[in-house]
């Protein structure tokens, strides 16, 4: 069966510090991968998606970037965090029709 991992689960970072969130998927090959952000009490905002190694599409202009160095690894990064980057970050992979989510990383920028 497929499993998706995200870490860390919780992160508190000062403004201006760098960020690296990692997501890995097990049990499937060549999945579509997605990064979402969910602000408190709001819906899911798609940040990036990837249909293959090295292929990244950005949905929203922002302070973040994404990379896919391996088939089942997806990384979300920032060089300098802003207060507005706080939120719940979710990684997902796509089945034939639907998406499956990881446990998420709660980021607080102070």
Shortest gap between Cβ of 80 and other proteins (angstroms)?
Answer: 27
- Among 35, 32, 36, 12, smallest CA distance to 86 is for 12
Nearer to other proteins, 85 or 89 (CB): 89
C-beta atoms surrounding 47 within 10 Å: 20
Site string for other proteins, 45-84 (x = CB under 8 A): -x--x-x-----x---------------------------
Residue pair 94/32 in contact (Cβ under 8 Å)? The answer is yes
Least CB distance to other proteins at residue 108 (A): 13
How far, in Å, CA of 37 to CA of 40, rounded? 10
Candidates 44, 58, 62, 71; binder of other proteins (CB under 8 A) is: 44
Q: Which residues contact 22 (CB under 8 A, 6 or more apart)?
A: 6, 7, 73, 74, 75
- Which residues form the interface with other proteins (CB under 8 A)? 32, 34, 42-44, 46, 49, 51, 57, 88, 90, 94, 97-104, 106
């Amino acid at each position: 069966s497929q499993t998706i991992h995200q870490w860390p689960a919780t992160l508190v970072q000062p403004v201006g510090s760098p960020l690296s969130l990692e997501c890995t998927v097990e049990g499937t090959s060549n999945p579509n991968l997605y990064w979402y952000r969910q602000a408190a009490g709001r819906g899911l905002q798609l940040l990036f998606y990837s249909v293959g190694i090295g292929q990244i599409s950005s949905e929203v202009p922002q302070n973040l970037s994404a990379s896919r160095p391996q088939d089942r690894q997806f990384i979300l990064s920032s060089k300098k965090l802003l207060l507005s980057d706080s939120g719940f970050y979710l990684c997902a992979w796509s089945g034939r029709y639907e998406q499956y989510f990881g446990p998420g990383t709660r980021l607080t920028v102070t």
